[in-house]
C-alpha cells in the first residue's frame, strides 16, 4: 500500500492519471451523447410511424362514415343496424386486426370509458388521457410514453368528440335503430353530450426493442473506445518518460547526493531548449547565487549574534534597574524571570523562586483557589479577568505579612504555550495615604453635614419665633395706632425683616458652597418682575429722599429666559445695597441689550447709584464672603457682607457675569450681563419708559373666605398668629398642638383646609400628613415649616402635602395660597394705614 501511495506521488503517475481521466471523461461524454441522440432518433422515428398508423386508422373511419355507412343505410330497412357497414369502429378494428398479423407488437385500437364492445374498454392510462381531453376542449392530439401490460410504448392519441352526426346512435336510445338496441342494449354508448370525448383512437409502438438495440450499439462502441484508451495511455506514458521522467529522475538523484550548491550536469539539457533545459540553466545560476548568499548569511549571523548579546545586556540592565518588579511565569505557573526589584518588594531572591510556583509563594491563602481556577483558563486560552489590565490586590511577603501591589498582566505565546508577564508595583504607602485622604474627606463631609444640620436647626429655631414677631407686627400695622406706636411697630417689623434677610443670606451662601443650590431656567415676564421691584424698593428710596427709577435703554422683548426667582434676588441685593449706601442723589436700574465681540447678545442690568463708592484697593475682595469695603462700612450701614458674594455666585449659575465700576465719593455701577436666549412665546415688547413712571399700587382689598381650617402647630404664639390671620378673613379655626392631635381631630370633624407645621413633638408634620393621606383625607394640606435647606419643599410634597409655605408667614402669602383652594366671598376694600 505504501509503494502504491509512493507511486501516485510521482509526476509521471499523476500525469498519466490526469490524461487517462480526461480521456475517460471524453469517452463517457461521447457515449452519453450517443445515448441521448439515439433516444431522440428512436422517438422521432416511432412518432412518425405511430402518426402514420393513426392517420390510416382515422382515414378508414372517415371513409366508412362518409361512403360506406350512407350506402348501407340506403340498402337496409329503416331501423336496422348493420355493424359491418355502419360502425366505423367495427370496420377499423377488423382492418387493423389484419395489419397486426404482420406487426403483432403494435397496438392500434379504439377505446372508450363506456363502450358497447367490452374489448374497447379503456384502461387506466387511457382513462387519464380521456380526462385530459375533456378538461382541454381545444386539444385534439396527444403524444405520451405509456405502460401497457408492463411494457413501455410510444403512443399517439386522437380524441373522438360527440357531434350532431353521432346523436342518432349515441344520443337518446329512443332515437337509435332497433337492431342497435337489440344487439348492444340501451345503456352502453348512449346519453353522450355534444363536445364530450366519447372515445380515443390510439396507435402505440413498443420502445423496448429499439432501446435494446441502442444499448447494444453503445456497448460495442464503449469496448472499442476502452481498448483505444489503453493503447493511447501506454503510448503517452512512453513518450512522457523519454522526454521528462528520466531527466527529472536524474535531477532528483543529483539533489539527493549533493549539498544543494553544486551545479547540475550539462547533458540534462539534452541539446534542446525546452523547459527542463531552462530549469537546469536557472538552477546552476541559483547555485552560484546561493553560495554567495551563504557567505553573506554567515556574516549576518555573526553580526546578529553580537547585536543579540548587546540587546540582552541592555535588557538585563533595564530590568535590573527598574523600580517595579518584573516577573514571568511559564504555562505551568513556574517563575522564569525575577528581577532585583521583585527581590526588594517580596523579600525572595531569584535563586529562591526560579522554577517555583508563583501562586504558592505570593498569593494569600484565601485567594489560592480563585487563582488556580483563573490560571487553568489562562493556560488554554491566554485570556483572563486580569489580562491586559492593571489591578490592585494583596500579596504575601516572604516574612508572611501582606502588602498592597498594583499588577499589570500580559500574555505572551512562546513555543505554542501561553506564558504570563507581570509588572508589579508596591503601593502599600500609596494605599495608606489614600486611606488617610478618605478619612480626612469623610471628616470634612461630616463637618459639612454638621454645619448644614446646624444651619437648618438654627433656621428653624430663629424662624419659628420670627414668624410670630413679623406676623404680629404686620397685623398691628393694619390697626389704628398713634404715630409713635406706628413708628415702634414699623421698627419691629423692619428689624424682623432685616434679621430674616440675614438668615436667608447665610442659608443661600451655605447652599451655594455645598453645591445644592439649583436654578430653574424658564420663560418669565420681565415687565412683571420690574414692576415688582419698583413696588418693593421705591418706598425705601423715597423714605431716604432718593430718586428711584427703572429705565429701559433698548427695545426689549417682554419675556426672557432665565430663573426669575434668582434674578430677582440678585437685583434686590444690588438695588438694596445701592439704596443703603446712598445718602443723596439717585438710584437707577437701567436695562438694555449688549452684543460682545464674540457675537453673543446679553441682557444688561446696570444698577447705578450716587453713593459712597468703593476704593480701588477694596475692589479685589469685593465679592468675597463676609467682606465689605472696610469695617467702618459695616459699623455704619450694617449687613453680613454676604449679599455681593451671593449675587456673584448666582449670576454665574445663571450663565452670566457680574462686574463693577466705582469712584470713591461719586458712586458705583454694578452690571449683570445674562445671555439672551430665545423663548417659546413672547408677549410683545416692553414700553420704553413704563417702568420710570410706575407708582406704588393701591392697597389691595381685604379678602373674605368661608370654611373650616385645622391649624396643627406646637408653638402657642404661632397658633395665635395663624388663628388671628385666618379669622380676619372669615374662616373658622380649630387648633391642634402636635401631629397626633391633628390626626385625631380629623377623625371627628370635617375641615376644608389643613395648615401643618412640619417640626413638632410626638408626631411631626411629615408623619401626620402621611397618616392622614393613608386614612383617605383628600382636603388640601399646606406645609408650614421653618426649614429652608435640603429640598424641604420636595420633602413636604412627597409626604403628601398639597402646597408649601416657608416661615415667617405674611398675610399676603397666606391669603394668596388659601385663595387657590377656598372660594373667596365678595371682597371689600380696606385702606391700610400709612
Q: Considering only CA atoms, which of 629, 627, 633 is closest in space to residue 618?
A: 629
Look at 414-418, 744-748, 787-791 and tell me which has the smallest mean pLDDT. Answer: 787-791
Given this model, what pLDDT does residue 671 score?
95
Mean pLDDT calculated for residue range 6-13: 66
Instruction: Write out the three cell numbers for 23.
Output: 480521456
Whether the predicted pLDDT of 260 surpasses 60: no
Whether the predicted pLDDT of 799 surpasses 90: yes
Q: Which residue has the higher pLDDT, 605 or 62?
A: 605
Given this model, what pLDDT does residue 772 score?
95
- Distance between CA 134 and CA 146 in Å, rounded? 19
Q: Considering only CA atoms, which of 378, 453, 452, 361 is closest in space to residue 421?
A: 378
Given this model, what pLDDT does residue 4 score?
58
Which domains does the chain show, CATH number per domain?
37-206 (no CATH), 322-426 (3.30.450.20), 433-489+700-834 (3.40.50.2300), 518-693 (3.30.565.10)
For 378-392, the pLDDT digits (tens) are 888 888 888 888 888
Mean pLDDT calculated for residue range 228-235: 84
Given this model, what pLDDT does residue 698 score?
39
Cβ-contact 775, 766 below 8 angstroms: no
Where is mean pLDDT largest: 103-112, 281-290, 562-571, 590-599?
A: 562-571
Given this model, what pLDDT does residue 85 score?
67
Whether the predicted pLDDT of 695 surpasses 50: no
Q: Which residue has the higher pLDDT, 620 or 822?
A: 822
Given this model, what pLDDT does residue 212 score?
85
Given this model, what pLDDT does residue 499 score?
74
Whether the predicted pLDDT of 502 surpasses 90: no
In the chain, the percentage of residues whose pLDDT exceeds 90 is 16
Across the beta sheet with 325-329, the strand order is 335-338, 325-329, 417-426, 402-414, 390-396
Given this model, what pLDDT does residue 638 score?
47
Mean pLDDT calculated for residue range 391-399: 89
Whether the predicted pLDDT of 272 surpasses 70: no
Q: Which residue has the higher pLDDT, 642 or 298?
A: 298
What is the pTM assigned to this prediction? 0.40
- Distance between CA 430 and CA 436 in Å, rounded? 10
Look at 75-79, 286-290, 413-417, 704-708 and tell me which has the smallest mean pLDDT. Answer: 75-79
Given this model, what pLDDT does residue 637 score?
46
Mean pLDDT calculated for residue range 279-306: 81
Given this model, what pLDDT does residue 743 score?
94
Place 571 in a pLDDT band, splitting at 50, 70 and 90: very high
**C-alpha torsion sign, points 130, 135, 139, 144:** negative
What is the four-CA torsion angle of 84, 86, 88, 94, rounded to 10 degrees? Answer: 0
Q: How far does CA 801 lie from the centroid of its chain?
A: 40
Rounded to 5°, the CA angle 685-690-692 comes to 135
Whether the predicted pLDDT of 69 surpasses 80: no
Given this model, what pLDDT does residue 547 score?
94
Given this model, what pLDDT does residue 532 score?
82
Place 763 in a pLDDT band, splitting at 50, 70 and 90: very high
Given this model, what pLDDT does residue 271 score?
59
In the chain, the percentage of residues whose pLDDT exceeds 70 is 82
Name the average pLDDT for the chain.
80
Mean pLDDT calculated for residue range 672-701: 56
Mean pLDDT calculated for residue range 28-46: 84
- Distance between CA 555 and CA 591 in Å, rounded? 10
Q: Considering only CA atoms, which of 742, 743, 594, 610 is closest in space to residue 672?
A: 594
For 168-227, the pLDDT digits (tens) are 677 677 667 766 676 676 666 677 777 788 788 888 888 888 888 888 888 888 888 888
Amino acid at each position: 500500500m505504501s509503494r502504491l501511495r509512493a507511486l501516485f506521488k510521482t509526476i509521471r503517475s499523476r500525469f498519466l492519471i490526469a490524461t487517462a481521466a480526461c480521456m475517460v471523461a471524453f469517452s463517457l461524454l461521447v457515449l452519453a451523447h450517443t445515448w441521448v441522440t439515439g433516444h431522440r432518433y428512436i422517438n422521432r422515428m416511432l412518432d412518425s410511424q405511430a402518426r402514420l398508423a393513426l392517420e390510416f386508422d382515422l382515414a378508414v373511419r372517415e371513409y366508412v362514415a362518409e361512403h360506406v355507412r350512407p350506402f348501407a343505410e340506403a340498402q337496409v330497412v329503416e331501423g336496422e343496424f348493420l355493424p359491418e357497414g355502419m360502425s366505423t369502429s367495427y370496420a377499423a378494428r377488423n382492418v387493423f386486426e389484419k395489419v397486426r398479423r404482420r406487426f403483432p407488437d403494435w397496438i392500434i385500437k379504439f377505446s372508450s370509458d363506456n363502450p358497447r364492445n367490452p374489448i374497447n374498454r379503456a384502461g387506466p392510462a387511457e382513462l387519464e388521457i380521456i380526462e385530459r381531453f375533456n378538461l382541454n376542449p381545444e386539444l385534439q392530439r396527444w403524444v405520451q410514453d405509456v405502460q401497457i401490460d408492463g411494457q413501455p410504448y410510444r403512443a399517439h392519441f386522437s380524441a373522438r368528440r360527440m357531434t350532431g352526426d353521432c346523436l342518432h346512435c349515441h344520443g337518446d336510445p329512443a332515437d337509435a335503430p332497433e337492431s342497435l338496441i337489440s344487439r348492444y342494449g340501451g345503456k352502453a354508448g348512449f346519453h353522450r353530450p355534444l363536445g364530450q370525448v366519447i372515445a380515443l383512437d390510439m396507435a402505440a409502438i413498443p420502445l423496448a426493442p429499439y432501446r435494446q438495440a441502442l444499448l447494444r450499439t453503445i456497448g460495442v462502441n464503449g469496448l472499442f473506445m476502452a481498448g483505444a484508451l489503453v493503447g493511447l495511455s501506454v503510448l503517452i506514458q512512453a513518450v512522457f518518460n523519454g522526454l521528462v521522467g528520466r531527466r527529472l529522475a536524474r535531477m532528483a538523484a543529483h539533489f539527493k547526493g549533493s549539498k544543494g550548491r553544486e551545479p547540475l550536469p550539462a547533458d540534462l539539457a539534452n541539446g534542446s531548449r525546452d523547459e527542463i533545459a531552462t530549469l537546469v540553466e536557472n538552477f546552476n545560476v541559483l547555485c552560484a547565487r546561493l553560495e554567495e548568499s551563504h557567505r553573506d548569511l554567515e556574516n549576518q549571523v555573526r553580526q546578529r549574534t553580537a547585536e543579540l548579546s548587546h540587546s540582552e545586556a541592555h535588557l538585563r540592565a533595564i530590568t535590573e534597574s527598574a523600580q517595579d518588579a518584573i516577573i514571568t511565569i511559564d504555562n505551568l505557573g513556574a517563575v522564569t524571570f525575577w528581577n532585583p526589584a521583585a527581590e526588594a518588594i517580596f523579600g525572595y531572591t531569584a535563586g529562591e523562586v526560579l522554577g517555583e510556583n508563583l501562586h504558592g509563594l505570593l498569593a494569600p491563602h484565601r485567594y489560592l483557589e480563585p487563582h488556580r481556577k483563573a490560571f487553568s483558563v489562562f493556560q488554554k486560552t491566554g485570556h483572563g479577568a486580569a489580562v491586559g489590565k492593571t489591578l490592585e490586590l494583596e500579596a504575601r511577603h516572604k516574612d508572611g505579612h501582606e502588602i498592597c501591589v498594583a499588577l499589570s498582566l500580559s500574555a505572551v505565546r512562546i513555543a505554542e504555550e501561553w506564558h504570563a508577564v507581570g509588572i508589579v508595583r508596591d503601593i502599600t504607602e500609596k494605599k495608606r495615604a489614600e486611606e488617610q485622604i478618605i478619612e480626612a474627606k469623610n471628616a470634612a463631609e461630616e463637618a459639612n453635614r454638621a454645619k448644614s444640620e446646624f444651619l437648618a436647626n438654627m433656621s428653624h429655631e430663629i424662624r419659628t419665633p420670627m414668624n410670630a414677631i413679623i406676623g404680629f407686627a404686620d397685623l398691628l400695622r393694619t390697626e389704628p395706632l398713634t404715630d409713635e406706636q406706628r413708628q415702634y411697630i414699623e421698627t419691629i417689623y423692619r428689624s424682623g425683616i432685616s434679621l430674616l434677610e440675614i438668615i436667608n443670606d447665610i442659608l443661600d451662601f451655605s447652599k451655594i458652597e455645598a453645591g445644592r443650590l439649583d436654578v430653574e431656567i424658564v420663560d418669565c415676564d420681565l415687565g412683571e418682575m420690574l414692576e415688582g421691584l419698583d413696588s418693593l424698593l421705591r418706598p425705601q428710596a423715597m423714605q431716604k429722599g432718593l430718586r428711584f427709577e427703572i429705565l429701559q435703554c433698548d427695545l426689549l422683548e417682554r419675556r426672557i429666559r432665565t430663573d426669575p426667582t434668582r434674578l430677582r434676588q440678585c437685583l434686590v441685593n444690588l438695588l438694596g445695597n445701592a439704596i443703603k449706601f446712598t445718602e443723596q442723589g439717585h438710584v437707577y436700574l437701567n436695562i438694555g441689550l449688549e452684543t460682545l465681540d464674540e457675537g453673543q447678545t446679553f441682557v444688561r442690568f446696570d444698577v447705578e447709584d450716587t453713593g459712597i463708592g468703593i476704593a480701588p484697593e477694596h475692589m479685589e475682595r469685593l465679592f468675597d464672603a463676609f467682606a465689605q469695603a472696610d469695617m467702618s462700612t459695616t459699623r455704619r450701614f450694617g449687613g453680613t457682607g454676604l449679599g455681593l458674594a451671593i449675587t456673584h455666585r448666582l449670576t454665574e449659575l445663571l450663565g452670566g457675569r457680574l462686574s463693577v465700576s466705582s469712584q470713591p465719593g461719586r458712586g458705583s455701577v454694578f452690571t449683570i450681563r445674562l445671555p439672551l436666549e430665545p423663548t417659546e412665546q413672547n408677549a410683545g415688547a416692553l414700553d420704553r419708559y413704563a417702568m420710570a413712571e410706575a407708582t406704588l399700587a393701591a392697597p389691595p382689598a381685604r379678602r373674605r373666605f368661608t370654611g373650616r381650617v385645622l391649624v396643627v402647630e406646637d408653638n402657642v404664639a404661632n397658633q395665635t398668629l395663624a388663628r388671628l390671620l385666618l379669622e380676619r378673613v372669615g374662616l373658622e379655626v380649630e387648633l391642634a398642638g402636635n401631629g397626633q392631635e391633628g390626626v385625631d381631630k380629623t377623625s371627628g370633624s370635617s375641615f376644608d383646609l389643613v395648615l401643618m407645621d412640619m417640626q413638632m413633638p410626638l408626631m411631626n408634620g411629615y408623619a401626620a400628613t402621611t397618616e392622614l393621606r393613608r386614612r383617605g383625607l383628600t382636603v388640601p394640606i399646606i406645609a408650614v415649616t421653618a426649614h429652608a435647606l435640603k429640598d424641604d419643599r420636595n420633602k413636604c410634597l412627597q409626604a403628601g402635602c398639597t402646597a408649601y409655605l416657608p416661615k415667617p408667614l405674611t398675610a399676603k402669602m397666606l391669603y394668596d395660597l388659601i385663595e387657590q383652594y377656598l372660594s373667596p366671598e365678595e371682597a371689600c376694600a380696606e385702606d391700610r394705614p400709612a
